[in-house]
Amino acid sequence: MNWLRSIWSELIGLFVDDGKFALSLLIWLIACGVALPRLGLPTFLPPVTLFAGLVVILALSAVRRTGPRP
């Protein structure tokens, strides 16, 4: 059963190794899914907004992980 547990944790680890990062991505996707279709934005803006938010989350997470070394 130990190997089953390893496979399960590997399965979760496929998507999450930094909980804050994964949660931020999910929250952004939900926010876009709820808001973008209802805002009546010009057609070029929803894709740009979705992409830009994802890149910002990636950037913040990578820079935070880099952090100042002691």
Partner 1 sequence: MDIHWAHVAPTLLAAFLASLVEFVEALTVVLAVGAVRGWRGAVGGAGAALLVLAALVLALGPAIARIPQNVVQLGLGALLLLFGMRWLRKAILRSAGVIPLHDEEEAYAKESAALRAFGGMTQGWDKIAVATSFKITMVEGIEVVFIVIAMGGGGHGLLIPAIVGALAALGLVCLLGLALHRPVAMIPENTLKFVVGLLVCSFGTFWVGEGMGIVWPGQDWSLAALNAGYLASALVLVFLCRARAARPVAARRSQA
Question: If you compute the radius of gyration of the chain from its CA atoms, what whole number of angstroms results?
Answer: 17
CB of 6 to partner 1, least distance (A): 6
Please, what is the minimum distance in Å from the beta carbon of residue 39 to partner 1?
Answer: 12
Q: Count how many Cα atoms sit within 13 Å of the Cα of residue 10 in the half-sphere of its side chain.
A: 6
53's CB contacts (< 8 A; 6+ apart) are 28, 31, 32
- Build a one-symbol-per-residue string for 11-40: x at contacts with partner 1 by CB under 8 A, - elsewhere: x--xxxxx--xx--xx--x--xx--xx---
Asked if 46 and 36 count as a contact pair (C-beta separation under 8 A), the reply is yes
> Residue numbers of the site for partner 1 (CB under 8 A)?
3, 6-7, 10-11, 14-18, 21-22, 25-26, 29, 32-33, 36-37, 43-44, 46-47, 50-51, 54-55, 57-59, 61-63, 65-70
